Amino acid sequence: MVSRSMGLLLTFAAIAALLSPALSARFISLPTDHLPITAPPLADGLAFDLYSDSCPQLETIVRSAVQAALQQEIALAAGLLRIFFHDCFPQGCDASVLLSGPNSEQNEIPNQTLRQSALKLIEDIRAAVHSACGAKVSCADITTLATRDAVVA
């Protein structure tokens, strides 16, 4: 009987902690939209605005292309996220998963099912960015921006 009472007490304590804003903040991540946005510190050589001078329209080009594509095929968001994962997780973001050919990463078993329409979207964005800015923007950065915008959308 004592162990059952203790179990009920612990259950009620857990429920009270989750329902109490003061206690639940320790256990549940709450929205922070009301807090001011602050940029995290960056390592030397990194910048949030790397392309602000060389390609100021970069984010607009990427965002508008992603939004237009998502209007046609919402599953592109998942496709972009998967491409980003397969490119960046193993050895860092290098856009090597975008390369095609007989010995490319696209032919490796985990990558054979990457969404072709998402790969094409990245290629189309790359062409638009390079047309507007020259080849000053890396394909890995374009993939990262496109994925971010798809997830946000």
CA distance 73 to 118: 10
Residue the block writes with tokens 């605005």: 49
**CB contact set of 69 (below 8 Å; sequence gap of 6+):** 76, 121
pLDDT at 47: 80
Per-residue model confidence as pLDDT tens digits over 138-150: 999 999 999 999 9
CA neighbor of 135 nearest in space, from 60, 55, 48, 52: 55
Residue 33 has pLDDT above 80, yes or no: no
CATH of the domain at 88: 1.10.520.10
Mean pLDDT of 59-65: 97
| Band of residue 110 on the pLDDT scale cut at 50, 70, 90 | confident
CA distance 80 to 148: 9
Concerning whether 34 is annotated as a catalytic residue, the answer is no
Look at residue 46 and tell me if it is in a domain.
Answer: no
Annotated binding-site ranges: 87, 92, 94, 96, 105
* Rounded (to 5) percent helix, strand, coil in the chain: 60, 0, 40
Per-residue model confidence as pLDDT tens digits over 122-136: 999 999 999 999 878
| Domain range for 91 | 57-152
Annotated binding-site ranges for Ca(2+): 87, 92, 94, 96, 105
Domain count of the chain?
A: 1
Q: Please report the sign of the dihedral spanned by the C-alpha atoms of residue 142, residue 123, residue 62, residue 111.
A: negative
Per-residue model confidence as pLDDT tens digits over 4-24: 555 555 565 555 555 555 544
**Residue 2 to residues 6, 9, 74, 93, Cα–Cα distance (Å):** 6, 10, 54, 56
Look at residue 49 and tell me if it is in a domain.
Answer: no
What pTM does this model have? Answer: 0.70
Look at residue 15 and tell me if it is in a domain.
Answer: no
Which member of 51, 58, 69, 86 is catalytic? Answer: 86
